[in-house]
Amino acid sequence: MTAPSGTPRPNAAREQPAADGSAPPPPKPWRTEGLPAGKAPEKRPRWVTAAVWMAVYLAFFGVLTLQDRVSGPQAVPYTEFKSQVAAKNVGEVFARGDSIQGALKKAAPRPGEQGGTYQQFTTERPTFAGDDLLEELAGGGATVRATPIVQHRGFLANLLISSAPLLLLVAFYVWMFRRQQGAMAGGLFGGRKQTRVDPETIRVTFDDVAGIDEVEAEINEVVDFLRDPGKYQRLGARAPKGVLLAGAPGTGKTLLARATAGEAKVPFFSASASEFIEMIVGVGASRVRELFAEARKVAPAIVFIDEIDTIGRARGGARAIGGHDEREQTLNQILTEMDGFSGHEGVVVLAATNRPDVLDPALLRPGRFDRQVIVHAPDHKGRVQILQVHTRKVPLSGDVDLEQLASATPGMTGADLANLVNEAALRAARRGETAVSQRDLTDALEKVQLGTARKVVIPEAERRRTAYHEAGHALLGMLQPGADPVRKVSIVPRGRALGVTLSTPESDRYGYDANYLRGRIIGALGGMAAEQEVFGVVTTGAESDLEMVTRIARSMVGRWGMSERIGTLSVLPSEGDPRMAGVSEALLNAVDEEIRRITDECYAEARRLLRENRGKLDAIVARLLERESLDEPEIYDAAGIARPSSAPAPVIEGAARP
């Protein structure tokens, strides 16, 4: 592969920093993979070296102590010493006060039950002894000396052994001090040379990415340029300097960035934008400079910055702190590195965010992030492909139907589907099965969508009220024209809810009209309407339903122009106070009145439908109280309603209890 102009020579990319004994640089806030081979292995941590030296010292000290005990003079009783004097077996004697050391002419057996022999000895002469020891020794031919018979270690050896622990402690504090200095130098004020990490053995490629074919096609140009830049340079083209991946959490943005680097077979540097931010101003900018410097050394390379909206928010405005805060300095440095005087030939920047609307315009202009790729949740075909990828290493039984599972999971992202497969595998393992069955996948889907079942004892009166609540949701969902088929109704407590009604579409749908949304509101109010019709009360079980109803009605009136009184106006922004955008109080009051009108009309319609179909409602309740959970065929059979052939978008309604 021909390196682009401005890329350092290959040999320079493989040069190693000099081993000057200095403290290693602090850990950098990014990960690397796929760096070229031939890099020096990672240095052994200093604490390992210190531990080795400590073990050597302890072994040396132990050997000397054992040697002193084995070959040194043996302590013997004074009576034993007198018996050896009487036997004229004492050859040499050294005395200092009442302490006597000496050596025998011939080795003698140790006194008592110790066993073995001794030749050098030490003993203490009692102060009350009245013998003439010198005369006896002289008579036995012993030599009486004024110097010790056994020569001890010298002064320097004793000093070394006694001071070694103190020296080790001082060395440890020096090492800690130098490490802190390295952290200050590398982390705060710009750093020394980076010690590269060995490449990961497994690289991600496009074979591991599924369900986003249009995004792969969009980003394949970047891969092709990194593989063969000469093909584009001959025509005067340049690679995109940056590609922004925008999409909801879990749609595969990070996986796609890693796959891009794996397909291009180039080094990959990844970091989260929040890891560049520190309390001290200038740290983030220093780390950005160092990251791009490391990427340029091994160019062509890819730098991936996750959650870039952390530091890439628009500058200025009412919430701005000033031009010199840490966040803005870090953003300015990224802007300079991407398209400034320094240049970064051969380095492509990928970034991911789920908030592209808050990014600074300078970051999104051509020359920085040339392309913005929207990563959507997968459609039915994409979900099938994703399930196939995540089940490659999972043994599946013959009854598994991934097409059917994909149809039951509209709106789920790649991360959701990966979690679904993992939950099914865990469930199969707990049951002791050798393969994952369709039942395991269905139970895992139920757990993911509805929550984990709780084992609580509910009074019969409340259980019956919950059954009417959920039956109200289900019946209105079946009666509304064009509504999503009701897939499951349960009065088994799950999560915060005492019961759940699940409706999902037959196929994916991306736009909704006013009639469909009004039907969603009527269905959501079905639980509250059923309790009002049957028991004449309203309970706290409608909390989550009312939240969803309010959200849909507010969007219909204030954002989607579905109210004749408000007209074709977008009154309510996605976030923030609409008054800041110049919306008047009168218009906001009109929006509130329209929201109340729509919800009141839908609630009245829900009560009317339940009154007219009270028999169907009671039939569903009776079956629910008997079975606790009803699947799709059982629900329609209990109500005596024909199942529709098709329908559009998912909704989960639950009876939440405090």
Q: What is the pLDDT of residues 86-120, one digit of tens each?
A: 888 888 888 777 778 888 888 878 777 666 777 78
553 pLDDT above the threshold of 90:
yes
189 pLDDT above the threshold of 70:
no
Q: What is the pLDDT of residue 188?
A: 41
In the chain, the largest separation of any two C-alpha atoms, in whole Å, equals 135
**And the tokens for 620?**
């569903």
Please state, in angstroms and as integers, the Cα–Cα distance from residue 319 to each residue in 170, 314, 360, 572, following that order.
Answer: 50, 10, 14, 20
Pair 654, 473: CB distance under 8 Å: no
Sequence letter at residue 320:
A
Give kind and range of the element (H or E) at residue 424.
Answer: helix 414-430
Compute the average pLDDT of residues 419-427.
91
Compute the average pLDDT of residues 202-214.
73
Q: What is the pLDDT of residue 346?
A: 74
**Of the candidate ranges 45-59, 241-255, 525-539, the one whose mean pLDDT is the lowest:** 45-59
User: Is residue 307 flagged as an active site residue?
Assistant: no
Please tell us whether the domain made up of 73-149 is placed in CATH 3.30.720.210: yes
Please tell us whether the domain made up of 380-450 is placed in CATH 1.10.8.60: yes
Q: Is 488 exposed, middle or buried (0-12, 13-18, 19+ CB in 10 A)?
A: buried
523-548 pLDDT tens trace: 899 999 999 999 988 888 888 889 99
**And the tokens for 303?**
């730098």
3-class state of residue 276 by DSSP? helix
**DSSP conformation class of 273:** G
Helix, strand, coil abundance in the chain, percent, nearest 5: 50, 15, 40
Q: What is the pLDDT of residue 20?
A: 46
Compute the average pLDDT of residues 37-62.
65
83 pLDDT above the threshold of 90:
no
Count H helices, E strands: the chain?
22, 15
268 pLDDT above the threshold of 60:
yes
Pair 476, 610: CB distance under 8 Å: yes
Parallel/antiparallel/unpaired status of strands 90-96 and 99-109: antiparallel
* Domain formed by 460-656, architecture: Up-down Bundle (1.20)
The residue with greater pLDDT, 434 or 150, is 434
Q: What is the pLDDT of residue 44?
A: 60
The residue with greater pLDDT, 255 or 65, is 255
Query: Which fold, 206-375?
Result: Rossmann fold (3.40.50)
Q: What is the mean pLDDT of the chain?
A: 76
Asked if the peptide bond before residue 300 counts as cis, ω within 30 degrees of 0, the response is: yes
Compute the average pLDDT of residues 390-394.
88
586-624 pLDDT tens trace: 999 999 999 999 999 999 999 999 999 999 999 999 998
Neighbours of 453 (CB within 10 A): 14
Q: Where in the chain is the domain with CATH 1.10.8.60?
A: 380-450
Pair 652, 500: CB distance under 8 Å: yes
Neighbours of 374 (CB within 10 A): 15
**Of the candidate ranges 216-225, 507-516, 642-651, the one whose mean pLDDT is the lowest:** 642-651
**And the tokens for 485?**
């088929």
Compute the average pLDDT of residues 364-370.
83
Q: What is the pLDDT of residue 55?
A: 77
Q: Where in the chain is the domain with CATH 3.30.720.210?
A: 73-149
Q: What is the pLDDT of residue 4?
A: 41
CA 623, distance to chain mean position in Å, is 45
Dihedral sign for Cα 136, 138, 142, 148, please.
positive
Q: What is the pLDDT of residue 99?
A: 78
Q: Where in the chain is the domain with CATH 1.20.58.760?
A: 460-656
Which residue in the list 80, 263, 470, 605 is annotated as catalytic?
Answer: 470
Pair 241, 367: CB distance under 8 Å: yes
**Of the candidate ranges 311-315, 394-398, 422-426, 568-572, the one whose mean pLDDT is the lowest:** 311-315
Q: What is the pLDDT of residue 456?
A: 76
CA-CA distance, 480 to 644, in Å (whole number)? 11
Please state, in angstroms and as integers, the Cα–Cα distance from residue 623 to each residue in 460, 491, 627, 631, 653, following that order.
Answer: 15, 11, 6, 11, 19
491 pLDDT above the threshold of 80:
yes
